[in-house]
Amino acid sequence: MTVSRIEAAPFAWEFDPSRTALVCIDMQRDFVEPGGFGETLGNNVALLGAIVPTVHALLEWCRARGMLVVHTREAHRADLSDCPPAKRLRGNPRLRIGDAGPMGRILIDGEAGAAFVPGLAPVAGEIEIVKPGKGAFYATALGDILRLKGITHLLFAGVTTEVCVQTTMREANDRGYECLLVEDATESYFPEFKRATIEMIRAQGAIVGWTAPFAALCAAA
């Protein structure tokens, strides 16, 4: 076993790359690009687009070390049978899940908007999880995949920090995984929400997990 050490908050995080996976959450066009679901909710998607280069660099860093990489997409069936009305009808967006938008039907699997941002798609051998909810463990095979691969530690990146990323980290924490959020490879439409989420994750002795900037991973011993 080869153990690496990252200078993280609230204290150093140690991991074996052979038993660690990167979980890259929902880096898809509907959230990151103009015309997608995120923008229909009134958000400034440029905030999310700004992290694309760092996420790409993180993917390459993990690939170079032979680590398992998991990509998630939040997307629903065309008939919306996996999208409860409580989710679809919430709020007053310009377009709702399933409605036709500039990149096809909003958050529907197979439509252009539900695809990954260019440059961030899985490569051969990587895992793609299509999830109907916020957490990546809900109604997916993620838990079984990680168990069968012998994974014990998880790196997290993606969007949005306080919703799908935090939900999945908390799900992972409850399942016994040691988790680290890469701070500059995640983002929110609301900067104050990102800051608060990072503080919540690492409070009380890493109650949910650790956080560190990508530079700390690059300097890992």
What is the per-residue pLDDT across 1-43, written as a single tens digit (0 to 9) for each?
789 999 999 999 999 999 999 999 999 999 999 989 999 899 9
Tell me which residue has tokens 């958000």: 43
DSSP 16-77: -GGGEEEEEE--BHHHHSTTSHHHHTT--THHHHTTHHHHHHHHHHHHHTT-EEEEEEE-B-
Once rounded to an integer, what is the mean pLDDT over residues 72-95? 95
Q: 111 vs 221, which has greater pLDDT?
A: 111
Q: Which residues contact 61 (CB under 8 A, 6 or more apart)?
A: 214, 217, 218
Provide the pLDDT confidence category of residue 221 given band limits of 50, 70 and 90: low
pLDDT in tens, 125-152: 999 999 999 999 999 999 999 999 999 9
Once rounded to an integer, what is the mean pLDDT over residues 65-88? 97
| Burial of 71 from C-beta contacts in 10 A (0-12 / 13-18 / 19+) | buried
Active site residue 131: yes
pLDDT at residue 91 is higher than 90: no
Catalytic residue among 24, 164, 179, 194: 164
Catalytic residue among 131, 134, 179, 194: 131
Bridge partners (DSSP) of residue 187 are: 159
pTM of this structure: 0.97
Catalytic residue among 26, 83, 134, 194: 26
